[in-house]
Every structure is written in structure tokens, then in C-alpha cells.
Amino acid sequence: MVAVKTNKILLAQNVSKSYGDLQALSDASIDVRQEEIHSLLGPNGSGKTTFIKILTTILKKDSGTVQIDGLDLEESEDDVRRIIGYVGQDTERSAYARLTVRENLLFFAKTRGVSKADANESIASLSEIFGLEEKIDSQFGHLSGGQKQSAVIIRALLHDPLLLFLDEPTKGLDPLAARNIRGYLKDYVSKRGRSIFLTSHILSEVEFLSDRVSLLHEGIVNITGKPDDLIESIGFPEMVCLRKVCLEPSVIRSILAKEHILRSIDLDDTWIGFGIDDTYTGMESILDVLRRTGTRSEIQHRRVSLEDAFIHYMGNPKEPFATEEVA
């Protein structure tokens, strides 16, 4: 089939997948643009890994269409595999335990058509960037969890894929290694003109990396936007957080009745956040209620984050969000 080129390296439309009576995906649609990092977020069981496995040819969809670099996923499966890279969550089974890291990488590079000379050059460069140069000739099975994860990411990069799929890429990594990988991925997209489709439970990582973010809920992608737009759409720039256990319902109502308190978000079972439009007047309004009611609570003040937007929309998944218009 002749590829139809667009500015979208990935275009998935109305993708559905069921496991018996369980509907994992239902008419899910998403696109990834060239030179973009696009992240997919959703609670556990929302269908994220199923979606990625379909897009990387590991699973078959029940219905819908997928094109990667203009190639139909089903009609040109082998061609698609040559231009994508994939890092899944099953790190232990992503390489041969008794082979060294170098042996693993050379083997997988060969399967992708990369010459030994080019593979050795890439292995030397990437192992230094990912902090694996001292472990490159150690057996994969003897590595730590974080080192194995780094090796698997290198494996996915060896053939310089046009589109890289990353499912929880920094799991098990120490903060320094995770930071190095995030920096490399940013450069990979901007300097090499590549694209990345990412899932991660580390919302600060998603906020740092992503050009756009989509939220998946109950098998449907119903919200897409730039991280800053998602954060701004909540309606307030900062919040004051209080411990729920210290607050009577009447205290919460009194706080929400104050002029400078815009709304509240249940952040988790322990904390509630009150959106404010100004640091000083908002904080003073809350403190006034706490003083009058004799309430003592641990208090935190911070700017709204992508994690707050995620919690807000997952709690209100049907609430509309005005996304940027897809070109």
C-alpha cells in the first residue's frame, strides 16, 4: 500500500478492543504529530497499555483504523515495525538474561537491519548517556531493575525510529538516571525530528516532556490539549490544601463561601484543595475561617499542576474541555 504522508506520524481513529465481555477500548482516537511528544494518561485499567500494544502491532484491534507515517497498520505491518521503537512494562522479558547487554543490543540491532559498525557506534554513545558503559559487558540478568530499563530503552533507539512508544519508561530508575533520560528524549525529538508516544504515572515527567496530553477514561480518549491549557482550564492558578480529617463539613462550606475561593478539588482521601485567585487574599480568607471556627489543620500552598488537572478531569470525565483545533 502507498503511504499517504501528512503532518501526523500516527493517526488512530475509532479503535476498539474487547477481551470477552470486557471493553478495553471503545472508539478511541488519537494522533501524534511529527516532532512531538504526546502523552496518554489514564487511571489503572483505563486501556492505556492495550492501546499502545495495538499501535505497536503486538495486539490486534477489533475495529478502527491506524496509520503510522501514512502506512496502514494491518496492511503494512512489517514496514511499520521497521520505523517504530517500543519500550513496554515487561522489562525482564525484553532481553536475554544470559547474554551481556552488548550481545543483546547487537542481536536486536541486527534484526532491525542495523549494521554491526553502526550498532557498536550507537551502543557506545547511548550507554554513556544512559550510564551503562560500565555494565555493557555484564549479563542482562545480573543488572539492577533500573539498569535493565536503561538497556531496554537503548534497544528501542538503536535503529533510530521515526516514532518511539514508551510505556512507563523511567520506572525503577533513580532520579538522576530518570533526569538524564528525560533530557535525552527531549533532544531526540527536537534535534533528530522524531516523535514520541508516552504513558507515565509520573505526572511531573509528563508535564515536562509533553507537547500535548490526552486523557483516556473507560476506553475513550475524551480530552486532549497542551499541558498548560489543561492546567489553565481548571480555572485557578494556585491552591491552598488542607487535611480533610481536620475539617468539619460546615468549615468546608464556609471556606467555599468566601469571595476569593473559586472551587475545591478532592486531591485524595487525605487532602482537599481550594482554588484561589490571589495568594494573599485567598490564604487570608481560609485562615480567617479556620481562626473563627477554632480549626487547626496542616496547610500547603502551591501552584496548580498537571496532576491536579488529571485528578479534576478523571473525577469529572464528561466535563467538556475546549482543546486546540486539530489541523
Query: Per-residue pLDDT tens for 54-100?
Result: 999 999 999 999 999 999 999 999 999 999 999 998 888 889 999 99
pLDDT of residue 6: 66
Q: What is the mean pLDDT of residues 259-267?
A: 92
- The grid coordinates listed for 165 are 512508544
Confidence of residue 316 (pLDDT cuts 50, 70, 90): low
Q: Is residue 323 part of a domain?
A: no
pLDDT value at 44 more than 90: no
Pair (46, 170) in one structural domain: yes
Residue 166's domain comprises: 8-225
- Those residues whose C-beta lies under 8 Å from the C-beta of residue 165, and which sit 6 or more positions away, are 52, 55, 56, 84, 85, 86, 87, 196, 197, 198
User: Given this model, what pLDDT does residue 4 score?
Assistant: 54
Q: Which of 225, 248, 269 is the last residue of a domain?
A: 225
pLDDT category at 311 given cuts 50, 70, 90 is: confident
C-alpha angle 321-322-327 in degrees, rounded to nearest 5:
130
| Domain assignment present for 78 | yes
Q: CB neighbours of 49 closer than 8 A, spacing ≥ 6?
A: 88, 89, 167, 199
Q: Are 232 and 271 in contact (CB under 8 A)?
A: no
Mean pLDDT, residues 145-168: 94
Q: Cell 473525577 appears where?
A: 315
Q: Is residue 322 part of a domain?
A: no
Confidence of residue 3 (pLDDT cuts 50, 70, 90): low
CATH number at residue 219: 3.40.50.300
For residue 251, give the amino acid letter: V
Query: If we measure between CA atoms, which residue out of 85, 89, 46 comes closest to residue 68?
Result: 85
| pLDDT mean over 143-149 | 92
pLDDT higher at 315 or 108 = 108
Q: Does the residue 52 lie in any domain?
A: yes
Average pLDDT for 265-292: 94
In a domain, 36, yes or no: yes
Question: How large is the average pLDDT for residues 41-64?
Answer: 93
Cell numbers standing for residue 180: 538524564
Q: How far apart are CA 228 and CA 292, in angstroms?
A: 37
Query: Does one domain contain both 53 and 135?
Result: yes
Q: How far is CA 56 from the centre of its chain?
A: 16
Query: What mean pLDDT is reported for the chain?
Result: 91
Amino acid at 103: E
Please report the pLDDT score of residue 83 as a whole number: 96
Residue 159: HSE in the Cβ half-sphere, 13 Å Cα cutoff: 22
Q: Which of 2-16, 30-44, 181-195, 231-245 has the lowest mean pLDDT?
A: 2-16
pLDDT of residue 325: 31
pLDDT of residue 75: 94
- pLDDT over 60 (residue 326): no
